[in-house]
Amino acid sequence: MCYNAYMNAKKYLKDYRVEESVDERGRVIKEAVYIGGDYVFTPPVPTIDKRIIMCLSVLSCLAFVGALIPLTRAMQLVHVILPFTLSMISMYLMVGAAGSLLFVKEVMTHERAETISKRLPPTSLITAGLTAVAFVGFIVDLIASAGVTEAGDFIYAVLVFVVSFSSAVIYYKCRKMKVIKLDPEGDNNSQGG
């Protein structure tokens, strides 16, 4: 984990320059100044899509927590609960990226643009996939057990479906998200990382 953080910091190191200045007491103050250029998403993400993505990610979280509340038979099945609980990791990253997307300015730094564009689509796809596996596992067990379930199982199934569907919609809206660098004149000239 620390190695990845170090490599990411090293990757964006060339986007900064250290400037020195002297304060009124004569101390030298070093400050990192961003010189990496401006980046934008292509195609641009409309504000309404940003809000929809954020609302769906929050809905996914609420449905996820809601599905964990009732103690049901589905929660005791390893092939159902294991993929569902593993989706929590990707969902956490998805919600963080969706929040960053919602509050990011139109023109952003290289690191911010790449973090959002490289995190949001795969984490939403992984979340949708894992929760879909949990949903299908529940349906298969429901068929195999000849319909022996509790009322909470149906609530669980509906909430898992909500998580999976919401994550799939987020992926659909973000799948073509790319980052490009703006040249000094404001025209697009090159692909970002």
pLDDT in tens, 8-59: 567 777 777 888 888 888 888 888 888 878 888 888 888 899 999 999 999 9
Non-local (6+) Cβ contacts of 190 within 8 A are 180, 181, 183
Mean pLDDT for 153-176 is 92
* pLDDT beyond 50 at 1: no
* pLDDT beyond 60 at 3: no
Which pLDDT belongs to residue 90? 93
Say which residue, 168 or 180, is predicted with more confidence. 168
Mean pLDDT for 144-160 is 81
* pLDDT beyond 50 at 102: yes
Q: Is the pTM of this model over 0.85?
A: no
Which pLDDT belongs to residue 5? 47
Which pLDDT belongs to residue 185? 60
**161 pLDDT tier (thresholds 50, 70, 90):** very high
Q: 12 phi and psi, to 5 degrees?
A: -95, 5
Count Cβ atoms below 10 Å from residue 94 Cβ, excluding itself.
Answer: 31
| Residue pLDDT, tens place only, 169-188 | 999 999 888 888 887 664 55
| Residue pLDDT, tens place only, 104-135 | 888 888 888 888 888 999 999 999 999 999 99
